[in-house]
Amino acid sequence: MPHPLLAASTDSALPIWLVTASTWPEVQAMLPPLAAGFAKAQGFEAKAGSHCLLPGSDGALHGVLFGLDAPDAKRPDPFLVGKLATLLPEGTYRFETPAPDAKLATLAWLFSAYSFNRYRKRPDKKARLVVPNGVDAEDVTRIAESLARSRDLINTPTNDLGPDGIEDAARILAERHGARFTSIVGDDLLAQNFPMIHAVGRASTTPPRLIDFTWGDENAPKITLVGKGVAFDTGGLDIKPPASMLLMKKDMGGAATTLALASMIMGAGLPVRLRVLVPAVENAIAGNAFRPGDILPSRKGITVEIGNTDAEGRLILADALALADEEKPDLIVDFATLTGAARVALGPELPPFYTDDDDLAADIARTGMVVNDPVWRLPLWAPYQAQLDSKIADVNHVGGPMAGSITAALFLRRFVSEAGAHVHFDIYNWNAAARPGRPEGGDIQAARLMYALIRDRYGS
């Protein structure tokens, strides 16, 4: 079923003219005199994001002008057109002039119309868009709905989405697509050799767990996704200050991203054997909480000295990555809202990624730009491994005061040795303010680009 904000017919749809400074005179000459005169009286210019509702002779809406010019930008935002989804009155619209990238413009329309309504109802967005020529309505619907469900997960507070709630969301997704689902909960984690997942989550009243589901032909290329599922992060005994805790409901953003990507892959029926691993915990404080200075065993057999209990995400990922690595998949991809250092380096809009595979890195960077889901490669700089040295264990899990995102990635790399390739994304998954195609609140970063890349690499 197409997205409810998409329309198939152009009958009676209102035109949207997407104009630049160079095309505006031509469009202006085509307009009825009343509409052209109104646009002139309003002082409309083709500046990026500007719009003008044009009246018809009967007083009804005749059409819409929207400016695309961004003279100071080398590459105008392909999501800019999505702004219209929140500006236009109820009705059905069509692009009278083609969008620079019709698929991204359509996605931006659907993304911009997203709102989180679980606790406070907001008016439904009613502006519908006729699917542009050449755009696969089924695919854009799949992408938009997958991201909307995962945005809902990030936006939901922990009192309604603990580790058990993350499991419920994963189970529903797995059952929808006929995947094989299991979950290892509580002390069973110790019995089945996931000691670090257990240690991080044992202080919570909701037991920690490892969510695991597989889908697809066992003989197809093996793709394994791993997502950090920290339902809330107090920082543990190295407790966070209050301001740093306010957004910690989003610390399961890696899990949400993984589920969004899995939803797209399974929904599209890509010819891969997909495995999804989500270690889901709450990093809480109690008498049995793990402590700075503890030495934890790991599934990989590496002993880990705890340098800071507020660096819990890499611990649960390490056990999950070790499991993923055991079956030697072609590709492991992990997503985690892991370090503040990544935000210092690149800000909230540009997540870093890490891999030893140069060809894969080039494909990721290129695809991210093509689908407007940008990321930036940072190096797995070997000399910084010395920052993880421990005098009493195989490794300390935190480095020094600098290069924190890199040292976290170097730590994770120790737990993957058999896979064909491994890529780690240090994502943020939050918009402090709404932008076209990127509504305020929970966001999903790098899932669309990896969907496009996996489809390109393995789709045939």
Separation CA 175–CA 198 (nearest Å): 26
Beta bridge partners of 305: 295, 396
* DSSP E strand boundaries for 218-360: 222-227, 229-233, 273-283, 295-296, 304-305, 331-336, 352-355
Give 329's Cβ-side CA count (13 Å radius).
23
Does residue 314 have an active-site annotation? yes
Beta bridge partners of 430: 442
Q: Which residue is listed with tokens 């991210």?
A: 368
Residue of 126, 149, 171, 240 marked active site: 240
- Find all residues with CB under 8 Å of 207, minimum gap 6, and list them: 163, 185, 186, 201
CB 99 within 8 A of CB 81: yes
* The dihedral sign for the CA sequence 335, 341, 345, 348: positive
- Find all residues with CB under 8 Å of 359, minimum gap 6, and list them: none
Residue of 228, 250, 314, 438 marked active site: 314
Separation CA 173–CA 323 (nearest Å): 21
Give 93's Cβ-side CA count (13 Å radius).
32
Does residue 240 have an active-site annotation? yes
Tokens of 228: 């950090």
Cα-Cα-Cα-Cα dihedral of 185, 256, 272, 107, to 10°? Answer: 160
Tokens of 374: 């940008």
Separation CA 213–CA 434 (nearest Å): 34
Q: Which residue is listed with tokens 């032909």?
A: 217
- Burial track 258-289 (b if 16+ CB lie within 10 A, e otherwise): bbbbbbbbbbbebebbbbbbbbbbbbbeeeeb
Helices (H), 353-403: 358-370
Residues carrying an active site annotation: 240, 314
